[in-house]
Structures are given as C-alpha cells and as structure tokens.
Structure 1
Amino acid sequence: MFRILLALILCAGPILGQAGITASAAQATQAVHIEVNGEQQSWKNAPLIIKGSTFVPLRDVVTSVKGTLKWDNRTKTATITVGRDKLIHQAGSNSIKVNKVDLATGVNSRTVNGTLMVPVRAMANAIKADIKVQRTATGQMSVSMVTDQVSLLNSEVASVDTYLREINYPGMALIARDGEVLLKQGYGLADEQTLNRPDQKTRIASLSKSFTAASILSLVEDGKINVQDPISKYISGIPKGDQITLHMLLSQTSGLPSAFGRGEGTSMEETVEEIRHKTLKFEPGSAYLYSNSGYVLLAYVVEQVSGMSYADYVQQTILKPLGMKNSGEASRKVHTISGFVQEDNTWVTAPYYVSQSGSGTIYSTVDDMLKWDRALYTDKILSQDTIEQMYEPYSDKNYGYAWILKENGTNRTVFHNGSGGGFATAFSRNLSDDITIILLGNHAGMDMTSLLDEVEAQTAKALQLQ
C-alpha cells in the first residue's frame, strides 16, 4: 500500500482542439508543485488543460508512484506495472486495461511534443486514487490526488490474491484471521469508468438474511415473540399459517415457495398479500426448501411486533450499535457499485436490483461485514446461546437460521451465499480457527459456493491450518 499526495496548481489554459497542440500551448501552463509522500519532486513535463480536461504526463506519474513503464514504439503502447497491478494503454485511445479489465477513460490520451499525456481522472482511477479538483477565484486549478490507502495484502495470503486475479473475480474480497485483516482488495469494475475498491458500498443479496434472523431472535430475547409461534399469530391468511412456525421460516422448512413479484415500489403489504395466495410445496416442517418469501414474512413480523420499519429496526438494533455506518437497506438514494449481467457474451450494467425487506435488501462493505462477524463472537447483539441456535442444522441441508453449517472433523464453519440483480456474494466464518472470508461480487451467475470452497482451501493452505 502506498500513498501519494499530488498537488497540481495550474492556470486554466486556452481551449484546444483535437489538433494543433504545440509547445507554446504546453508553455501556457504555469509552474507546478508536486509532492510525493510529502517530498517535493519535479516533472519533466507539465500538466495541460485541453478542452476542459486536465492531462498529466504518463511517464512522470508512473515514476512518481515508483512504477515501471515499458514503451512499444511499434504499437504506441505503454505497459505499466504499479505494485501487483498491470496497466496497458495505447496512445490516442480512450481506455486503460487494468489487470485484463477495460476501463473507459471518457476522453482520448494526447501526444504533446513527444510526451504521452493522459486524462488525470482516468489515471487516478486506474491506480485506485482519490482526486480532488478545485478552481480558485483567479481561474487557477488545484488538483490533489491520494492513491489507494484502503487495499491491504499480507504476504501470507498473496497466493489467494493471485488466484482471484487469475480467475478475473469481480468485486470485493476480505480475509481476516482472529479479526485481523490479511487481505482487503477490489477487483474488476464498479461501473464502466470506475474500478472496484474495497471500501465501496455494494448489495450483499441473501447475506441480508442473517440480519433478518438476528432481528427475530432479538425480539425473542426481549420476550416479545417465540420461534415456535405460528405465523398466523402475526399475519393472517398464510396457507397453513397455524402450522408454519417462525422456526420453520427461519430454517427454510415451511414449504413456502421462494419467488415473489419484484416490481419496484411494491410495498411489503402487497408482497405479503401475494404470498397469501401461494401453494405450499410440502407439509410444513417435513422438508427443506430455500424460500425468499419466508424471510419476507419474517421481516413483516419484525415490523408488526416492533412498530418500526424493517430498515429502521435493523439500523437501530444491529447496525448502529456495531458502528456499521456504511450499511443499511438499499434504495436508489444510496450509491452502491453496479451489478453486471451478461448479454450476447458482453457484460453490461444490470437493472436496479429490486428485492423485498428481509430477503436481500441490505447494502454493506467488507469492513462493515467484518464488524458483523466480530459481533457474533460476543454478546453485544445476541447472547452466545441464541447465536448457537443460528448455527444448528435443522434439515439434511444443514441450514440453521440464515447460516449453513459445514463440519470437517473438529473444524466447524458456518457460511451463506447470495445472488441477484448482477451481484453474487458469499460469507464464510470458520468458528474453529477464526478465519473470516467475505466475497462481495458484482457479476451475475458466479458459483459462489464453489468459489468460496476454493478460497477457503487456499487460505487454509497459505496459513498452514489443519
């Protein structure tokens, strides 16, 4: 991890056309002050403003960040290495390939007096930097850049990072041991012009269910409900509602089918009314069937009993006490990274992910999800006795309450995965060795169970776990 503060104070030069960028235009830029890690440096070439966009000299930037640049004069292509990242850019193009991912720059790079100039925002994005651009009252511009300070990689698990890069995993990943972060990285695109960074908010899909289960169990601990209560006590009209218990909904053994309508703006009451007309797949409690509908009903119970919306209850009872400031129930007002779906062998931005409270509406970050992981080792939200109920296998699928149990000898792991709207996620908690793995992907169709198994195995090997 490295940090660079790049302060560029430059005049707002003349608007230049596609051609005719001359030495006199370059000289129109006033003196530039450059700081790298608090130390002033000088560049051979000054930044330029061209048609309202600020351009910086590629080779000088790469040198400043202690990277390397190889130039192929035949193809007019620069190959840049910065840390573990490989960037490729062809002069005159409007994209930068970052670790095999094409990042759109918005404008073409320019060659000025033999120097390749690249748009500063695109370059900052390619090296996962923050950038701040300000214009003074006199027309001068101040551009400050701080490179990636959030990614982290311990050499012990470098092989896992290499694996995720090799398979072109898209999204965020975090690995921790005893709560200490060993790997925190972003991979692929957050949108067409932005790379994924591990501090970004994203939809977590069905990992949301652990917050729903915890909300129900919080009400149980408060003495307001009992997991053996029939759903008919709280919601009328559910098929065989006098036989379906909250326990069955939590453990996915109610017999309710999974799907429900996902029209944007559909109220909880409308979704519950739809569920009232579903046909059970089997007698309540007799088998396992994963059901999003069941967790919607649980969220509705939370609302009926608490007198609060599901979003507010989760926020007040779990997220706020744990300091999970970058988590909550998603809406269009909250900016999260984009999900991607495949169309005609091309990845395109997915439509807005619509779900319903209880089943898959939470957004979060890998850091916040680690806070949730750590809280489950304490009594801060629920007692350990109650938390153990979440891990118990209640069917032949080893599904507990929003956690799936996986045992290998004395090794005990609980996990869950999720998908929807261009997102694919997984969360693994090795309770025996205290290894946490969080994968928040943003491409549809990934087999997250298999990916999680592989990452778990590679992590165990890297850390020399039994």
Structure 2
Amino acid sequence: MRCIRFAFTVACTVLVACGTLAPPASAEPELSARLDRAIADKVAAMGVPGAIVAVSVPGVIDYQTAVGVADTATGAPQSVEDHTRIGSVTKTFTGTAVLQLVDQARIRLDDPISQYVDGVPGGDSITLDMLGRMRSGLFDYSEDDAFVGEFFAESPTGPDAFAQSPQHLLDIAFAHPPNFAPGSDYQYSNTNTVLLALVVEKVSGVAFAEYLQQNIFAPVGLFRTSYPATGALPDPHTHGYLQLPDGPVVDATYWNPSWGDAAGRIVSTTADLKTWAKTLGTGALLSPQTQARRLSNPSAAAPGAGYSFAIFDTHGWIGHNGDIPGYTTVLVYLPERDATLAVSVNSDVPKDHAAGQIAKAVTQIVTPEHLYDLANA
C-alpha cells in the first residue's frame, strides 16, 4: 500500500559560485519572460493542474505568477491569492514556537520531553532538541499500515472525517518500538513535532492554534495563514489532487488535515509563505543566539542536505518543503542574496516532488550560482 506522502522531501543544492553581480534592472523583464516559459513548461511536463510561484532576489527580480488551473472540474484558473495546504512547512512554525519559549526562559532545549508529556517511550532520555532535530528515534505514526489504510478509507467522505487527536497519533507511534536510541541517529518522524506542540500548549497555557495566531501569524502579518480544525478551506483556494494507492487521481482538497497536527496542518498563501521564508531564515522572531543554535549541528539528511531544528540547509538555502495529499510546497531563504522563494503545486502525483522541480527550474534562471536541486521525493 502506498504510504501517506507527508514527510521532509530531501532537497540538495549545488553551489557553483558566490558574489555574482546582479544584472541591471533592465534585465528583469527578460528574466520574467524566461520564468514564465520555464514554469509553464514544467507544469505541462509534470502533468500537474497548476502552480503558484513567488520569488524575490533583491537587485535582480521580484516576481510572482499563477499557472494552470485551480479546479480541473470547472477549469477555474490558479490565482496568486489562492489558499493552499503547506504540509511539512508547518514544522517551521512549530519549531519557531518552541524556540520563542526558549528565548523567554520558560523551557530549555535540553529538557527531557518527560518533563512535559507523560508516557513517551524513553522520554527521560529524549530532549526537546532531539525532537526538533529528528533524533529521538520515535516511530512515525504516519507510517503505521493500519493508520494509512484508515486514512484512505475515511478521508474522502467529508471535511470532518478522519478527525484525529494528538494523543491518538502518539498512541499509534508509541505502540511501535523506537527506531534507535535517543540522540544516536537521524530519522524524520512526524511524531516529534506533535510532541513539541504539546509542550507549547502546556507551557503557554493556550491551544496551539491560538499560540500560533497570537505569537507568529499576527506579528509577522500572515493574515491569510491558519491552523484549521477541519478540512474546510478559506476562499479563494486551489483544489489539490492525489493519486490513490489503487491508481485513480482524486480531488483531496477537503480531506481533514488534523492527522498532520503540528507537523503538517497549516493552510497559507504563496505570498504569506514568501514573507515567512525571510522571517524564518533571518530569525526575526528569535534572539540571534537561539537562531544560531537552531541552524547549528545539522544531521545529514541526504548528500548535500542537512536538517537542524525544524529547518533544513541545502548549501545555503534555508527552509523546508512539504508534501500532504493533494499539495506540494517549497519555502526557502538564501541569506547570501537575501532571496526568498515559495512554490505551491496543487498535486502530489509526480514521483519527484512537484514543487521542488519547479523550484529548481526557477533557481536555474534567477540564482544559477545557488541551484535548488531536488534529489528525491
């Protein structure tokens, strides 16, 4: 059975040169035309309904576009205003929430998770830092075969179907033995991020959705970003398309994302994601010391890609990507160029991460010296 595609999709970057002079302003129309062609060609080649792209490289280009259709049934076009599901990019928000509490001296990254959540296998030896860095060894609940089967059976029945609580997700994970001793290895697991959100709730005293709204969404100006309770989406929104394990492609737009919890539930727009990319990459919501620790000591997630505290670094590109049924996303920031890139695709059908393929095509044009290169999905 095909598993639920909802994980960190490895991305690699080829670093060719630094300090390339920006082209003159007159080059922007030519670059925009090249981007228009490249994105449209990639959408057609992958056979996906559409894509939304926003990229900014100061002194070079500030560009956004929507290509293709938002709804294959009606033929409604994509819009740069469309809301979309962002999958695992959610983890960057959860990680930031935890680190804000660190800055407030309300928690420490070296605290064991058992100090905040009962019943975690090996919880006395698993620190908050290990959870954020995917080094806890805890089993990923979204890889449980029975859970996956129930997901595909129930999710299509309505936006309130397959509603999941964090505790139920943890119960599934904890029924499996750990993959390795805490801190001894790296393995991506959504279970880690669910636990971190429970820490935020316990320490802050408010629901996780409320914490995000008060401390991240509103302060940053992410007014079209939300942490939904059901599968309903705000208008306007793009429909997302998923290939089922038995073959057919279906509309997964309104499938309840509660199973993703703090690891993948957020809904946003590409414009908001572009804003968040810079906020995340510069550490604007954190102290310099905490941001530095966040980016330190990355684990080797794949050749050329390191994973730190709820964020990856691919030879300079800082951010995350996402893959949730019906949607793929890339969100990255390049400190060397103060560049931001956000890509949303309303399909997760291609084997290779669709948003990542478009991100590569974009960087080949606007930052060829810093190529975002998707390794696999």
TM score, norm. by length of structure 1: 0.61
Q: Counterparts of 1:405-416 in structure 2 under 5 Å?
A: 405-407=313-315, 412-416=316-320
- 2:299 is equivalent to residue 391 of structure 1: no
Residues 1:289 and 1:450: Cα distance change in structure 2 (over 3 Å): farther
> SS at 2:215's partner residue?
helix
- Per the TM alignment, residue 438 of structure 1 is displaced from its structure 2 partner at its CA by 0.7
Which whole-Å CA distance do the structure 1 matches of 2:55 and 2:171 have between them? 41
Which whole-Å CA distance do the structure 1 matches of 2:369 and 2:93 have between them? 31
Determine the structure 1 residue equivalent to 2:38: 163
Greater RCO between the two (CA within 8 Å, min separation 6)? 2
Residues 1:233 and 1:333: Cα distance change in structure 2 (over 3 Å): same
Which whole-Å CA distance do the structure 1 matches of 2:247 and 2:63 have between them? 31
Determine the structure 2 residue equivalent to 1:317: 215
Which whole-Å CA distance do the structure 2 matches of 1:364 and 1:231 have between them? 30
Residues 1:380 and 1:404: Cα distance change in structure 2 (over 3 Å): closer
1:185-205 per-residue CA deviation (whole Å, 9 max, x = no partner) reads 112222222211111111111
- 2:346 is equivalent to residue 442 of structure 1: yes
Cα pair 1:156 1:463 within 8 Å, conserved: no
Which whole-Å CA distance do the structure 1 matches of 2:29 and 2:297 have between them? 34
Q: Which moved more, 1:454-463 or 1:332-341?
A: 454-463
Determine the structure 1 residue equivalent to 2:323: 419
Match of 1:460 among 354, 361, 367: 367
- Per the TM alignment, residue 462 of structure 1 is displaced from its structure 2 partner at its CA by 10
Which whole-Å CA distance do the structure 2 matches of 1:242 and 1:401 have between them? 20
Which whole-Å CA distance do the structure 2 matches of 1:161 and 1:345 have between them? 32
- Per the TM alignment, residue 382 of structure 1 is displaced from its structure 2 partner at its CA by 1.2
- Per the TM alignment, residue 377 of structure 1 is displaced from its structure 2 partner at its CA by 5.8
Match of 1:332 among 202, 224, 231: 231
Q: Which amino acid aligns with 1:172?
A: I
Determine the structure 2 residue equivalent to 1:277: 175
Larger radius of gyration: 1
Structure with higher helix content: 2
Which whole-Å CA distance do the structure 2 matches of 1:282 and 1:325 have between them? 40
Residues 1:178 and 1:388: Cα distance change in structure 2 (over 3 Å): farther
> SS at 1:278's partner residue?
coil
Which whole-Å CA distance do the structure 1 matches of 2:330 and 2:78 have between them? 17
Cα pair 1:391 1:403 within 8 Å, conserved: yes
Which whole-Å CA distance do the structure 2 matches of 1:426 and 1:362 have between them? 14
Q: Counterparts of 1:79-94 in structure 2 under 5 Å?
A: none
- Per the TM alignment, residue 290 of structure 1 is displaced from its structure 2 partner at its CA by 0.6
> SS at 2:220's partner residue?
coil
Q: Which amino acid aligns with 2:255?
A: Y
- Per the TM alignment, residue 353 of structure 1 is displaced from its structure 2 partner at its CA by 4.5
Which whole-Å CA distance do the structure 2 matches of 1:456 and 1:389 have between them? 28
Which whole-Å CA distance do the structure 1 matches of 2:58 and 2:93 have between them? 22
Determine the structure 2 residue equivalent to 1:348: 250
Determine the structure 1 residue equivalent to 2:184: 286
- Per the TM alignment, residue 265 of structure 1 is displaced from its structure 2 partner at its CA by 2.0
- 2:193 is equivalent to residue 295 of structure 1: yes
Aligned-residue sequence identity (percent) comes to 29
Which whole-Å CA distance do the structure 2 matches of 1:405 and 1:420 have between them? 21
Q: Which moved more, 1:237-246 or 1:336-345?
A: 336-345
Determine the structure 1 residue equivalent to 2:374: none
Determine the structure 2 residue equivalent to 1:195: 77
The gaps in structure 2 that reach 5 residues or longer are: 1-27, 152-160, 372-377
Q: Which amino acid aligns with 1:163?
A: A
Which whole-Å CA distance do the structure 1 matches of 2:331 and 2:111 have between them? 29
Cα pair 1:184 1:198 within 8 Å, conserved: yes
Which whole-Å CA distance do the structure 1 matches of 2:289 and 2:169 have between them? 33
Structure with higher strand content: 1
- Per the TM alignment, residue 274 of structure 1 is displaced from its structure 2 partner at its CA by 3.0
Cα pair 2:197 2:208 within 8 Å, conserved: yes
> SS at 2:341's partner residue?
strand
Match of 1:223 among 91, 105, 119: 105
- 2:54 is equivalent to residue 174 of structure 1: yes
Q: Which amino acid aligns with 2:293?
A: Q
- Per the TM alignment, residue 345 of structure 1 is displaced from its structure 2 partner at its CA by 7.3
Q: Counterparts of 1:17-416 in structure 2 under 5 Å?
A: 154-168=29-43, 170-178=50-58, 182-191=62-71, 192-193=73-74, 194-260=76-142, 261=147, 264-330=162-228, 331-335=230-234, 336-342=237-243, 347-350=249-252, 352-354=255-257, 355-376=259-280, 380-397=284-301, 398-407=306-315, 412-416=316-320
Which whole-Å CA distance do the structure 2 matches of 1:442 and 1:179 have between them? 30
How many positions carry a matched residue from both structures? 308
